[in-house]
Structure 1
Amino acid sequence: MFGYDWESLIWIGIGFGGQALFMMRFVIQWWSSEKAKKVVIPVAFWYFSLAGSLVLVIYAIHRKDPVFIFGQALPVVIYLRNLHLHYKGQGRSAAS
């Protein structure tokens, strides 16, 4: 199919899957903001960001693309930190 072997097609599927996860974060953010009638960044935004980046890092490592690896791996730390701050803040507000 299109001159690709099955392994290549699987990796292309993984790459597109990562892109789809990453794109869904914007759909979720838009939908949440529309419902709230104000700009909202739901926690699902960070989960989709993290999942999309991790899948894309795996894809980039497979492709041996250092620019792509760096561009997707560095934000993983930020997404993890934002999730940590979210749950840390929830515990703080629950204790109040």
Structure 2
Amino acid sequence: MSADVHWLNQEIVWLGWTGLHVTGWKLIGYTGAFMFGGRWLVQFIASKRARKPVIPRLFWYMSVVGSLMTLSYFLFSAKQDSVGVLQNLFPAFTALYSLYLDIRHRGWKRNKATH
């Protein structure tokens, strides 16, 4: 592992009050997990407003970023967990492809939910 990412494996001392061993990579992983899970709240709100099932573009952005963040945690942290890598490869690929299709279908700047 290169020296420039090694510091992300060090414990963040000022978060010791939590009782958890938190590192920079874990913060990246936590943020990715919250983003990946939070996309369902975005989809729920958009569907509730439209009164029908819709998937807004923000759902795909959150899917891509959340998947890539958790994937990077499993790839580059001291943990280097192959189960986590496999678990996040497919969602990252499908989210990127779905975002590509959404942009291709509705255009780059249009950000309304799919009907």
TM-score range, shorter chain: 0.7 to 0.9
Q: Give me the whole-angstrom Cα distance separating, in 2, the residues matched to 1:30 and 1:16.
A: 22
User: How many residues are treated as equivalent by the alignment?
Assistant: 88
Number of the residue aligned with 1:43: 57
Secondary structure class of the residue paired with 1:38: coil
Alignment of 1:82 with 2:98, yes or no, is yes
Number of the residue aligned with 1:20: 34
Runs (4+) off by over 4 Å = none
Looking at secondary structure, tell me which structure has more helix per residue: 1
Q: Give me the whole-angstrom Cα distance separating, in 1, the residues matched to 2:20 and 2:86.
A: 29
Secondary structure class of the residue paired with 1:41: coil
Q: TM-score, normalised by structure 2?
A: 0.70
Q: Which segments of 5 or more consecutive residues in structure 2 lack a partner in the other structure?
A: 1-15, 108-115
Q: Give me the whole-angstrom Cα distance separating, in 1, the residues matched to 2:40 and 2:48.
A: 12
Number of the residue aligned with 1:34: 48
Alignment of 1:9 with 2:20, yes or no, is no
Q: Give me the whole-angstrom Cα distance separating, in 1, the residues matched to 2:101 and 2:20.
A: 47
Q: Give me the whole-angstrom Cα distance separating, in 1, the residues matched to 2:105 and 2:42.
A: 21
Q: Give me the whole-angstrom Cα distance separating, in 2, the residues matched to 1:22 and 1:31.
A: 15
| Identical columns (%) | 32
Q: Report the aligned-residue RMSD.
A: 1.5
Deviations 1:65-95 (A, max 9, x none): 111101101221111111111111125xxxx
